[in-house]
């Protein structure tokens, strides 16, 4: 039963939409919001140390928007992965917390974008409240990322099974022979 449940999570029916076996789309899609939101926080902080921070303030606002759009796309694929995890398992419980945190973070950044957009002033640094909201959202995102890593690296959700992984560790004699001129 346990082996059957693990295989179900590793080879979900929705694999064509969520990515091919052993190579899901969700992990690559999350790099967009993570990168955008980390950079927006850097811009927020930098807006307090440069002489004319307007470009950083505006850049941060739009990076938050890019992150929200990217998070929605990553969430759609992540939902497909979630449905493949058997309920009542530690992996499923972890996935639910991971999803809940990600939805909360995405909502917080959407609110942050709307707050910035509605109060935009050309030239000023990012307000402390907006900066704090970004920083707290980043902390929650870090916790969620830790849980996502646990899903992949500890529970092996959507990771190829061990026998498939072993293919990467078998010496490739054709490559060695090609290099030696044989």
Domain ranges for the chain, please list them.
Answer: 10-161
Give the pLDDT confidence score for residue 164 in this predicted structure.
76
Give the pLDDT confidence score for residue 112 in this predicted structure.
97
Cβ 87 vs Cβ 71: under 8 Å = no
Give the pLDDT confidence score for residue 179 in this predicted structure.
57
Give the pLDDT confidence score for residue 83 in this predicted structure.
87
Give the pLDDT confidence score for residue 118 in this predicted structure.
85
Q: Calculate the alpha carbon distances from 162 to 4, 19, 135 in Å.
A: 15, 19, 38
Does this model's pTM top 0.85? My answer is no
Which tens digit of pLDDT belongs to each residue from 46-84?
999 999 999 999 999 999 999 999 999 999 999 988 988
CATH topology of domain 10-161: 1.20.120
Please identify every stretch of the chain with a pLDDT value under 50, giving residue numbers as ranges.
none
């Amino acid at each position: 039963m346990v082996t059957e449940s693990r295989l179900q999570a590793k080879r979900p029916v929705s694999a064509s939409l969520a990515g091919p076996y052993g190579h899901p789309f969700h992990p690559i899609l999350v790099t967009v919001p993570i990168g955008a939101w980390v950079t927006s926080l850097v811009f927020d902080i930098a807006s307090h140390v440069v002489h004319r921070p307007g470009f950083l303030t505006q850049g941060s606002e739009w990076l938050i928007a890019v992150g929200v759009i990217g998070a929605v796309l990553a969430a759609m694929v992540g939902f497909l992965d979630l449905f493949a995890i058997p309920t009542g398992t530690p992996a499923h419980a972890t996935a639910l917390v991971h999803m809940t945190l990600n939805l909360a973070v995405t909502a917080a950044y959407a609110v942050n974008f709307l707050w910035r957009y509605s109060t935009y002033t050309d030239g000023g640094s990012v307000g402390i409240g907006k900066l704090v909201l970004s920083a707290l959202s980043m902390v929650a995102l870090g916790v969620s990322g830790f849980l996502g890593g646990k899903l992949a690296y500890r529970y092996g959700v959507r990771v190829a099974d061990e026998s498939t992984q072993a293919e990467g560790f078998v010496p490739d004699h054709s490559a060695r022979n090609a290099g030696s001129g044989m």
